[in-house]
Structure 1
Amino acid sequence: MRIAMVSEHASPLAPLGGPDAGGQNVYVARLTEELARRGHEVTVHTRRDSPDLPDRVPLTDGAVVEHVPAGPPEPLPKDELFPHMPVFATHLARAWARQRPDAVHAHYWMSGMAAQVGARAHGIPVVQTFHALGTVKRRHQGLRDTSPYERVGVERHIGRTCGQVLATCTDEVYELADLGVPSWQVTVVPCGVDADRFHPGAGTARALPRTRRHRLLAVGRLVPRKGFDLAIRALPRIPDTELLIAGGPEHALLETDPEAERLLGLADRAGVGDRVHLLGAVDPADMPGLMRSADLVLCTPTYEPFGMVPLEAMACAVPVIATDVGGHRDTVADRLTGRLVPPRDPAAIASAARELLGTKQLRHRYGTAGRDRVLARYSWQRVADGAEQVYRRVTEGHRLPSEVA
């Protein structure tokens, strides 16, 4: 099958940890890799954000990344890309006129908008993964939401008119229903994790000796919604424990990062400045070992469309304390692989951490169950299985424009 991936701001080639580089990049990269390994012909269309990028970059097993000229060839925040989507769509239409894909898989709402316009004239079915919904972001961020005004209306239209919405968690199905997207239009296929790379035998991180008896680890982009401040507020109630926060810019640039400055100031005011360590960007090769070096991994965002960090921790057999939001409700089995705690509740985080840190046997049991859960449900092979089924269903059931009465 010939498959076109459209991911306007999240390139599979981008280094992780930047403001707009995270789980979506990993999802697109790993799903593309697995589909190509199965013999599918996959092209990823993403925006050119540098004049030095070649038009096409080969990936493993024959997949290709195509850089689309849409807007200035420089990095732009994703919320500023909306005006450039018509040009993106025109490029897709021309590319697909030369070589028509059997199915298009669009990632994020702007990709879906461009993909539907580009595919319409050629009768190509479009599968949509939103990765995050504007209604959820607006609910939690309010006036701080920088998304274009048109976002929610566009998402509603895409959800109702695409071939199928591929949701990443059960919570998203309910959110889509509130947008008027019927349940038969939605299939849940979660994100995955590389359980061969994230595994219990990963060597512990080099040059990171403990400063306290216990170690907590939090991982993610340095943005307020990730809830690192909640973990810091919980720390005074967790004795003899350090907190490592991995993510954001390179360590040398942390002193100029506003969120890093806010978190360090909060730690000082809470009296735990000597127990909070911001690592900055961590080499992906070192991340499994860093996770294995922790007693617990904290995932405390105020909202999270899916969240890959819990899966990575569980694959390493490390228990997770996660806020009871979004995709965490699917991935973290409360009191089996970790603990789900109310969002915005540092006291609940501290209580769960003290309970788990108090008994190594309980941590071992949760860790083993987490690894088993990942292997059973969250491999990229399982994700590709689900995506393939959706592609075949929309392709077999799709009618070309000339066939519509």
Structure 2
Amino acid sequence: MRVGIVGPAFPYKGGGAHHTTELAHRLAAAGHDVVIESWRAQYPGFLYPGQQTISEPEGEPFPGTRHRLDWRRPDGWWRTGRALRSCDQVVLAVLSPVQVPSYLGILSGLRRRTPVVALCHNVLPHERKPYDEPLMRRLLRKVDAVLVHSEAQAALARGLTERPVRVAEMPAHLPTSAAVVERDDAKVRRHLLFFGIVRPYKGLDVLLRALAEGPDGVTLTVAGEFWGGVDETRALIDSLGLTSRVELRPGYVPAADVPGLFAEADALVLPYRTATASQNVWMANEQGIPVIATDVGGFAAQVRDGVDGLICTPDDVPSLAAALRRFYTPGEPERLRSGVRPVDHGPLWDAYLDALTGLTGGVR
């Protein structure tokens, strides 16, 4: 089957670009003829305050990638749709409602000649604007089917469209980085890691308050791009008396730096208020450290509470503080670390491809 994927790819960075590229590689390995239609200019800068592109790929770029889309050129959206009419299936990677106008332009160019799946990383953003729901409703009513990564996301999608909606667990699409750093597993560093883009829904403020109430002498590194609020975060750290215990590393973290960050931590903490799916649990698994996460999205399924990590209540400082104290009970960091195992993502990817290609009657 010939499959066209529309979504970000290198030089764009982050999970969306990694997922688009890994999906293309997996479909091609399964025998499909695949093309990626990607962007030379994806968003205006004011809509994406972080670093959009990188100079070196963090994985193997997909050879069948074209960069012809530009948010400033609606005529190019239509031409891309016309070029995809030869496909048996078109997959629109939906990361934000901001993409909807361009995707509607592509659908106009397709003229319903090809079945289209909206692959929604998030049906609606964690932090919503008034135009998000109307835009997503319009898009999801024009495609032929929708693929999401959790039952909660499926419920959102079904509230916006009568098109078929299928759930498939998101498999790993991790950046290629340097080898896992050697570490002394007998050593407890009393050091934690918060990793990734910093946005309000990710609950860094909850973690900082919990750290102040939790076990003494535990330090924290916060590594990732801040989408605003860095000055407020510094002020909160100062007001909680954590200045000597918290290191902020604002800015994008290149893949080559990831192993060293994880090697210095006893655990990765994901104090999210809301979530759909995250690659950070898989990344911690690969790097051999436990995860302390809130019970949102798919975290409770990814983290085995009491085996390779701990689960606590979202947006609840006492619950997270109690989890930190429990984690640093003598012998507990070592025990949880011994339970961490890298996951075999092959079967998960097989199921994902089956769900995707089956949505519009394609055959694998």
In the other structure, the counterpart of 1:104 is: 90
In the other structure, the counterpart of 1:292 is: 263
Contact 1:319 1:370 in 2 (8 A): yes
Contact 1:234 1:349 in 2 (8 A): yes
Distance 2:216 2:340 in 1: 26
In structure 1, list runs of 5 or more residues that go unmatched.
16-21, 73-83, 205-209, 250-256, 399-405
Q: Over aligned residues, Cα RMSD in angstroms?
A: 3.3
In the other structure, the counterpart of 2:170 is: 190
Moved more, 271-280 or 171-180: 171-180
How far off its partner does 1:181 sit? 4.8
Residues 363-395 of structure 1: CA deviation (Å, up to 9, x unaligned): 3443444425x33xxx2x345323431344245
1:261 is the counterpart of 2:231 = yes
When residues 301 and 118 of structure 1 are mapped into structure 2, their CA distance, relative to the original with a 3 A threshold, is farther
1:132 is the counterpart of 2:122 = yes
How far off its partner does 1:66 sit? 1.8
User: Could you tell me which of 104, 119, 123 is aligned with 2:110?
Assistant: 119
In the other structure, the counterpart of 1:389 is: 354
Contact 1:129 1:167 in 2 (8 A): yes
Contact 1:5 1:44 in 2 (8 A): yes
In the other structure, the counterpart of 1:93 is: 81
When residues 169 and 263 of structure 1 are mapped into structure 2, their CA distance, relative to the original with a 3 A threshold, is same
- Residue aligned with 1:340, SS: strand
Distance 2:327 2:169 in 1: 31
In the other structure, the counterpart of 1:342 is: 313
Contact 1:216 1:243 in 2 (8 A): yes
Contact 1:42 1:63 in 2 (8 A): no
1:203 is the counterpart of 2:179 = no
- Residue aligned with 2:288, SS: coil
- Residue aligned with 1:48, SS: strand
Distance 1:38 1:365 in 2: 39
Contact 1:216 1:241 in 2 (8 A): yes
Distance 1:26 1:318 in 2: 22
- Residue aligned with 1:106, SS: strand
The equivalences for 1:218-233 within 5 A come to 218-233=194-209
Q: Number of matched residues?
A: 340
- Matched to 2:121, the amino acid is H
Contact 2:84 2:90 in 1 (8 A): no
In the other structure, the counterpart of 1:239 is: 216
Distance 1:114 1:328 in 2: 36
Distance 2:362 2:20 in 1: 25
When residues 306 and 124 of structure 1 are mapped into structure 2, their CA distance, relative to the original with a 3 A threshold, is same
How far off its partner does 1:275 sit? 0.8
In the other structure, the counterpart of 1:216 is: 192
In the other structure, the counterpart of 2:9 is: 11
How far off its partner does 1:294 sit? 0.9
Q: Scaled by the length of structure 2, what TM-score is found? A: 0.80
How far off its partner does 1:284 sit? 0.6
Q: Which has the higher helix share?
A: 1
Distance 2:189 2:360 in 1: 56
- Residue aligned with 2:361, SS: helix
When residues 218 and 190 of structure 1 are mapped into structure 2, their CA distance, relative to the original with a 3 A threshold, is same
Distance 1:316 1:118 in 2: 44
How far off its partner does 1:353 sit? 1.1
In the other structure, the counterpart of 2:46 is: none
- Residue aligned with 1:396, SS: coil
Distance 1:345 1:322 in 2: 12
When residues 226 and 185 of structure 1 are mapped into structure 2, their CA distance, relative to the original with a 3 A threshold, is closer
Which of structure 1's runs of 4+ aligned residues deviate more than 6 A? none
- Residue aligned with 1:25, SS: helix
How far off its partner does 1:287 sit? 0.7
- Matched to 2:39, the amino acid is R
Contact 2:118 2:146 in 1 (8 A): yes
In the other structure, the counterpart of 1:253 is: none
In the other structure, the counterpart of 1:41 is: 33
Distance 1:69 1:287 in 2: 31
Contact 2:270 2:293 in 1 (8 A): yes
Q: Identity across aligned pairs (percent)?
A: 24
Distance 2:144 2:348 in 1: 18
Distance 1:219 1:159 in 2: 32
How far off its partner does 1:226 sit? 1.9
In the other structure, the counterpart of 2:143 is: 162
Q: Scaled by the length of structure 1, what TM-score is found? A: 0.73
- Residue aligned with 1:358, SS: coil
Distance 1:315 1:24 in 2: 19
- Matched to 2:267, the amino acid is L
